[in-house]
Amino acid sequence: MKLSVSLAKRSYPIFINENADFYQLVLENCPATKYIIITNETIAGIYENHLSDWKRNLPNSSLIVIADGEKYKNMRTLNSILDETFRLNPDRKAAIIAFGGGVIGDIAGFAASIFLRGINYIQVPTTLLAMVDSSVGGKTAVNHNSGKNLIGSFHQPKLVWIDTKFLDTLDERQYLAGCGEIAKYAYIGGKKTFDFISENFENICRRDKKLTVEAIQKSIEIKAEIVGKDETETGVRALLNFGHTFAHAFEKIYGYGTLLHGEAVTLGIICAVKLAERTNLIKKKRASIIKSSLKMLKKPVIPHKVTSNAIYRAMLSDKKKADGKLNFILPVALGKSQIIKNVDKKNVISVLDEEFDSWIF
Ligand code: NAD
Ligand code: GLY
């Protein structure tokens, strides 16, 4: 199946389980003088044979392997990628292939965006989260001590190649984290998507192959449409951050990698729905349906309780704030959310106070 992001000269195709020759598609969509594959130690271990095939079949290809983990998505690792890339002596027509989850996609994409003022790259996502979300849309970044993804760029890939066979080796916790990002689309993708996801979420979480492919397809269609309208998040793209104002704060406060991104998003979705309810944003008729949809979510275990004020302070360091104020993406109807400004701190704190007690296991 072929989808696409339409952005004039920066448009690109996304293939999902396409029965086509990968090498041919790479050469057609992203011809390059050299291919630099970037992955991590875990994926390099599992997919050693796969990588050997790529190295044999892609002209002038090399491999850069970085340490595995969100905590390595930082400037130090980025520097090491750039050092190794310079050692390979590529020109501006070289291309990077990001082979991994969202961490690899984000850091390899960022390296591609700044190396020699920008070279092409390809996304080959291997986690569910990266397949439904991070491999599409061109957001690239590394984390900084001050907050999540605070150093980055918009740099669209030339091709996204999704093969759900990679999910066979993904462990349960990571798979469920990816389901967290799928759940996000239920609240922003319209009523039909809300119905599809809430009706099938249980089976998607149980790895039903057909439903998972359908969920990936629907998620990407929604994302591609939004990115096509607002590539650099000056408006409607912010909807894709549903649950993320809370989520980024949870990730920061627990230390990157402790709570997985998709797990933090799951908790962020719960908080966003509760906040919308508390501030009377959801139309009464729909409130109970939206609220009961939260039952489908698989709550992760959180390490320990922190104060709601500490979470709120962490939120203030997020890049989504404007004029010192926090923006929240909150549901207003089935499958529909809006960007809400000036939410009263008191309401945010009371949602957090209320939620934390039920999250501690
Ligand atoms: P990840 O990249 O850390 O991957 C999760 C774990 O799974 C890692 O240990 C990895 O080595 C392992 N793994 C990956 N593929 C595997 C496979 N096929 N088999 C076995 N193990 C495999 O985490 P993630 O959840 O994919 O991505 C999270 C990151 O994505 C965060 O940094 C987040 O900020 C970013 N993100 C970016 C965007 C965007 O639009 N750019 C959107 C959402 C999330
Ligand atoms: N994951 C949010 C975005 O791509 O905009």
Which pLDDT belongs to residue 323? Answer: 64
Structure token pair of residue 136 = 């599409």
Beta-bridge partner residues of 151? 142
Q: Give the distance (Å) from ligand 2 centre to CA of residue 56.
A: 34
Task: Give the per-residue pLDDT at 324.
Answer: 67
Q: Where are the alpha helices (DSSP H) in 88-158?
A: 102-114, 128-129
d(CA 153, CA 360): 36
Residue 106 CB less than 6 A away from ligand 1: yes
- Quick one: pLDDT at residue 100? 98
Q: What is the chain's pLDDT, residue by residue, as a tens digit (361 residues)? A: 999 999 999 999 999 999 999 999 999 999 999 999 999 999 999 999 999 999 999 999 999 999 999 999 999 999 999 999 999 999 999 999 999 999 999 999 999 999 999 999 999 999 999 999 999 999 999 999 888 899 999 999 999 999 999 999 999 999 999 999 999 999 999 999 999 999 999 999 999 999 999 999 999 999 999 999 999 999 999 999 999 999 999 998 998 888 999 999 999 999 999 999 999 998 777 888 998 899 999 889 888 888 999 999 999 877 666 566 788 999 999 999 999 988 999 999 999 999 877 776 4
Ligand 1: which of 103, 161, 182, 254 to mutate, most ligand atoms within 8 Å of CB?
Answer: 103
Pocket test for ligand 2, best of 148, 230, 241 (most atoms within 8 A of CB): 241
pLDDT of residue 211: 98
- Alpha carbon 319 to its chain's center: 16
Distance from residue 130's CA to the centre of ligand 1 (Å): 6
Query: Rounded CA gap, 180 and 69, in Å?
Result: 19
8 Å CB contact between 90 and 114: no
What is the atom index within ligand 2 of the atom nearest the CA of 238? 5
Report in angstroms the alpha-carbon separations of 287 from 11, 70, 273, 331: 38, 35, 9, 9
Q: Which ligand is nearest to the CA of 256?
A: 1
Matching residue, tokens 């509760």: 274
Which ligand is nearest the CA of 242, by number?
A: 2
**Residue whose CA lies nearest to ligand 1 atom number 40:** 134
Return the closest-CA partner of residue 243 out of 168, 310, 185: 185
Q: Whose CA is nearest to atom 2 of ligand 2?
A: 240
Is any atom of ligand 1 closer than 6 Å to the C-beta of 164?
no
Q: Tell me if 202 sits within 8 A of 284, measured CB to CB.
A: no
Kindly report each contact of residues 23-29 with a partner whose C-beta sits within 8 Å and lies 24 or more positions away, as own/partner.
23/57, 23/58, 25/159, 25/161, 26/58, 26/97, 26/122, 26/159, 29/122, 29/158, 29/159
* Residue 262 near ligand 2, beta carbon < 6 Å: no
Q: In what order do the strands lie in the sheet with 61-66?
A: 2-5, 12-16, 159-162, 120-125, 95-100, 35-40, 61-66
Residue 144 to residue 122: CA distance in whole angstroms: 25
Distance 170 CA to ligand 1 centre (A): 10
Residue labelled with tokens 């980025």 = 78
**Which atom in ligand 2 lies closest to the alpha carbon of residue 137?**
4
Q: Please tell me if the CB atom of residue 237 comes closer than 6 angstroms to any atom of ligand 2.
A: yes
230 CA distance to ligand 2 centroid (A)? Answer: 11
User: Is residue 122 helix, strand or coil?
Assistant: strand
Q: Which atom of ligand 2 is nearest to the CA of 233?
A: 5
Q: CA 332, 335, 340: angle at the middle one, nearest 5? A: 35
Look at residue 320 in the predicted model and tell me its pLDDT: 63
Does residue 233's CB lie within 6 angstroms of at least one atom of ligand 1?
A: no
Q: Whose CA is nearest to atom 1 of ligand 2?
A: 240
Say how many Å lie between the CA of residue 315 and the centre of ligand 1. Answer: 22
Q: Is the CB of 240 under 6 A from ligand 2?
A: yes
Confidence (pLDDT) at 319: 65
The predicted structure's pLDDT at residue 133: 97
Find how far residue 245's CA is from the centre of its chain: 14
**Closest among 16, 55, 50, 15 to 35, alpha carbons compared:** 55
